[in-house]
């Protein structure tokens, strides 16, 4: 009886260097940008050639989670290498950790960029923001994950990126806290700043993610009246919209095809388990559909009598 070893069919050897370059690029892109730069290009001449092909760098993912500042500095330099290798052909970029200097480097060399997602970027000053985004006129999708921006930053994006259809402003949730009664008007106006800026300047949006946003029911109402082209709206962990009264929640569902409400699970989101992870929240899920001691703040009479920051709320054409 023939031995088992002789019965086994010999597996043919595969010469990876003979793969078509487009297939090799597809495989390497699935590894992200770090492995090709650190490892793959050192394997053989064929892979090194592919790793220098600008087509390899049309889509770049720099998503490693790093705690060491030294490694982050090296990571930033690798991002610059990837951008340079694209030779202006970069279309889609996701990068974690960075600052204004890196953003401007990207903008200077990526005028064809269609999608940009910035994760945990350090604060970018007002005048610098516009300088970067005026060089990215073809952006269609823009994401800020755990990256602080202000209402005038949204205005800059609207001015310089007229093709923008998707905006993501996602962060860890921050529950609204009140001081004295005299502070309530001021606090509410601050909570809704980003919602007002979106409603005023980005009315052509079709997809909007506001995970963890601090806006109140008033801010949501302004967005619904202003952004009439929305097809999807993500409100998960927007903790300051207490209960979403039946009429407003119903209006969301009727007007927008795909809606995620504050109490919906964050499961499945690409940053749910690291960037947006909240141990206390995720281990002890609590519904916010509860009595709100400040419910009167969302009454129509309150909005009508305190409309300094919502002066256009009822004037927006449907």
- Per residue in 86-138, pLDDT (tens digit) is 999 999 999 998 888 899 999 999 999 999 999 998 865 556 778 899 999 99
Contact criterion met (CB below 8 Å) for 165 and 141: yes
Classify domain 57-164 by CATH architecture. Alpha-Beta Horseshoe (3.80)
Give the span between the Cα atoms of 166 and 78, in whole angstroms.
27
DSSP codes, 65-101: ----HHHHHHHHHHHHHHHHHHTT---EEEEEEE-HH
CA dist 54 and 87 (Å) reads 6
Are the C-beta atoms of residues 294 and 191 closer than 8 Å to each other? no
Residues of the chain short of pLDDT 50, as ranges, are: 42, 177-180, 182, 283-318
Rounded distance between C-alpha atoms, residue 46 and residue 41, angstroms = 8
- Global pTM? 0.77
Q: Which residue has the tokens 């806006």?
A: 215
Return the DSSP state at 266: -
Q: Where are the domains of the chain?
A: 57-164, 165-318
* End-to-end CA separation in angstroms for the chain: 83
Angle among Cα 233, 245, 208 to the nearest 5 degrees reads 10
Please state, as a whole number, how many other Cβ atoms lie within 10 Å of the Cβ of residue 231: 13
pLDDT at 74: 84
- Which pLDDT score, from 0 to 100, does residue 202 have? 97
């Amino acid at each position: 009886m023939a031995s088992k070893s002789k019965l086994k069919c010999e597996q043919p050897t595969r010469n990876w260097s003979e793969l078509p370059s487009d297939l090799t690029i597809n495989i390497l892109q699935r590894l992200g940008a770090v492995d090709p730069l650190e490892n793959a290009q050192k394997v053989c001449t064929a892979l090194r050639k592919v790793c220098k092909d600008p087509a390899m760098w049309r889509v770049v993912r720099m998503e490693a989670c790093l705690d060491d500042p030294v490694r982050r500095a090296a990571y930033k330099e690798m991002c610059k290498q990837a951008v340079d290798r694209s030779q202006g052909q970069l279309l889609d970029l996701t990068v974690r950790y960075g600052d204004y200097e890196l953003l401007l480097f990207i903008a200077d060399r990526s005028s064809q960029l269609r999608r940009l997602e910035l994760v945990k970027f350090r604060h970018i000053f007002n005048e610098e923001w516009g300088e970067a985004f005026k060089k990215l006129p073809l952006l269609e999708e823009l994401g800020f994950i755990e990256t602080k921006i202000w209402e005038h930053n949204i205005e800059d994006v609207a001015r310089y990126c007229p093709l923008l259809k998707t905006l993501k402003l996602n962060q860890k949730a921050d529950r609204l806290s009140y001081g004295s009664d005299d502070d309530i008007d001021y606090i509410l106006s601050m909570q809704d700043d980003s919602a007002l800026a979106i409603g005023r300047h980005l009315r052509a949006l079709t997809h909007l993610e506001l995970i963890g946003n601090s806006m109140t029911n008033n801010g949501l109402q302004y967005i619904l009246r202003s952004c009439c082209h929305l097809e999807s709206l993500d409100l998960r962990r927007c903790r300051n919209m207490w209960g979403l009264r039946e009429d407003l929640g119903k209006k969301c569902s009727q007007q927008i095809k795909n809606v995620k409400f504050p109490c919906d699970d964050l499961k499945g989101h690409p940053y749910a388990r690291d960037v947006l992870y909240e141990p206390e929240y995720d281990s002890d899920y609590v519904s916010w559909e509860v009595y709100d001691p400040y419910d009167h703040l969302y009454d129509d009479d309150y909005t009508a009598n305190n409309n300094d920051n919502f002066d256009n709320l009822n004037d927006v054409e449907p």
